[in-house]
């Protein structure tokens, strides 16, 4: 089996924009999902690295789970000029900038149950699926509030379907740098001060498609249509289900129990799970 390197990103700045605590914390279901995500990636695909800021690294070390990422833990530094309120996922772009390709960027709330070699073989870029250009999510260029002097590249096509990047494989280091630099340049030149979704998904998902189109890169999909995801058994993505878990205590208990049982059954050596006080 080919070893495929993966990486997680944990950037805490958005958390501290909404909370007054001195130290970072995660919901129990978020913590368990992150742990199982890393463990399953190790089992089915290869080494996985965690990129995080100083408070994130302190958190995983305090939880006693730093060893989960067998590719190591590396620090990222997102500059203050990138608003964590607007660009809540900016840490992923700075992690991608630091990571060496080929590699797979994996969201913390995504668990990959199978080996993905057959999906990425022969591809340069592979993501979960493409998305439609819905105007309320992906508006035109006139929507964006940018600093004087910033200009959208005239070589970018606004007709390219955006890319869902909850799992993203990239093989080409040079293209990766072009995309990430374009995204960071956009974020650093944005005047927006309040989160409205559109700016973040432009920086992460739409710009990837635009940059690929400009460079003649083909973006493959694990599942060409979003509807194809319903019947698949390759991955589980919490995404919107987190809102249910946050407010429905019974669902939360049931979900945590399932994850604890899976971790204990497949990874009995990970006794630290019991010490986290999230398993009954």
3-state secondary structure 21-48: CCCCCCCHHHHHHHHHHHHHHHHHCCCE
What is the pLDDT at residue 242? Answer: 82
What is the pLDDT at residue 246? Answer: 85
What is the pLDDT at residue 252? Answer: 92
> pTM here?
0.94
Using CA atoms, how far apart are residues 50 and 154, in angstroms rounded to an integer? 35
Neighbour tally for 19: CB within 10 Å = 12
What is the pLDDT at residue 30? Answer: 95
Using CA atoms, how far apart are residues 4 and 16, in angstroms rounded to an integer? 33
Domain that holds residue 82: 6-148+155-239
How distant, in Å, are the alpha carbons of 66, 69, 245, 255, 257 from that of 274? 15, 18, 21, 16, 12
260 falls within a domain: no
251 falls within a domain: no
17 falls within a domain: yes
Using CA atoms, how far apart are residues 59 and 30, in angstroms rounded to an integer? 13
DSSP class of residue 190? B
264 falls within a domain: no
What is the pLDDT at residue 262? Answer: 94
Q: Which CATH number does the domain housing residue 183 bear?
A: 3.90.550
257 falls within a domain: no
208 falls within a domain: yes
What is the pLDDT at residue 272? Answer: 83
Using CA atoms, how far apart are residues 151 and 174, in angstroms rounded to an integer? 22
Q: Measuring CA to CA, which residue among 196, 66, 205 is closest to residue 129?
A: 205
Tokens encoding 159? 């007709």
What is the pLDDT at residue 223? Answer: 81
Per-residue pLDDT of the chain (280 residues; tens, 9 = 90+): 689 999 999 999 999 988 888 899 999 999 999 999 999 999 999 999 999 999 999 999 999 999 999 999 999 999 999 999 999 999 999 999 999 999 999 999 999 999 999 999 999 999 998 999 999 999 999 999 999 999 999 999 999 999 999 999 999 999 999 999 999 999 999 999 887 899 999 999 999 999 999 999 999 998 876 556 667 788 988 877 888 888 998 999 999 999 999 999 999 998 888 788 777 6
Helix axes 90-98, 173-188, angle to 10 degrees: 140
Give me the helices (H) in the chain, please. 13-18, 28-44, 54-63, 90-98, 117-120, 173-188, 198-201, 207-215, 241-247, 249-266, 272-275
Q: Is 17 helix (H, G, I), strand (E, B) or coil?
A: helix
Q: Is 112 helix (H, G, I), strand (E, B) or coil?
A: strand
Q: Is 242 helix (H, G, I), strand (E, B) or coil?
A: helix
What is the pLDDT at residue 138? Answer: 96
Residues 224, 195: contact at Cβ < 8 Å? no
Using CA atoms, how far apart are residues 5 and 104, in angstroms rounded to an integer? 6
Residues 108, 221: contact at Cβ < 8 Å? no
Using CA atoms, how far apart are residues 268 and 102, in angstroms rounded to an integer? 31
Q: Measuring CA to CA, which residue among 150, 146, 211 is closest to residue 182?
A: 211
What is the pLDDT at residue 232? Answer: 78
Residues 88, 195: contact at Cβ < 8 Å? yes
259 falls within a domain: no
254 falls within a domain: no
Tokens encoding 83? 């608003």
* Number of domains comprising the chain: 1
What is the pLDDT at residue 195? Answer: 79
């Amino acid at each position: 089996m080919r070893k495929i390197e993966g990486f997680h990103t944990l950037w805490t700045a958005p958390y501290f924009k909404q909370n007054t605590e001195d130290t970072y914390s995660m919901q129990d279901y978020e913590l368990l999902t992150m742990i199982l995500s890393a463990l399953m990636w190790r089992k089915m695909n290869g080494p996985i690295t965690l990129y995080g800021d100083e408070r994130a690294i302190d958190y995983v070390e305090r939880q006693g789970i730093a060893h989960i990422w067998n590719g190591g833990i590396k620090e990222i530094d997102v500059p203050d000029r990138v608003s964590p309120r607007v660009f809540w996922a900016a840490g992923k772009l700075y992690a991608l900038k630091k990571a060496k390709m080929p590699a797979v960027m994996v969201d913390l709330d995504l668990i990959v149950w199978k080996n993905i070699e057959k999906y990425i073989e022969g591809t340069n870029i592979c993501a979960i699926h493409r998305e439609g250009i819905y105007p309320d999510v992906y508006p035109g260029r006139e929507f964006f509030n940018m600093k004087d002097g910033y200009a959208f590249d005239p070589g970018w096509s606004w007709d390219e379907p955006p890319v869902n990047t909850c799992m993203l494989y990239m093989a080409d280091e040079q293209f990766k740098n072009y995309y990430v630099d374009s995204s960071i340049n956009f974020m650093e030149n944005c005047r927006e001060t309040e989160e409205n979704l559109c700016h973040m998904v432009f920086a992460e998902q739409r710009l990837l498609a635009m940059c690929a189109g400009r460079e003649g890169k083909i973006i493959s999909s694990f599942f060409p249509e979003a509807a194809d995801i319903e019947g698949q058994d390759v991955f589980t993505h919490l995404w919107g289900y987190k809102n249910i878990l946050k407010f429905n205590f019974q669902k939360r208990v049931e979900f945590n129990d399932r994850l604890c049982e899976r971790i204990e059954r497949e990874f009995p050596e990970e006794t630290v799970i019991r010490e986290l006080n999230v398993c009954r």
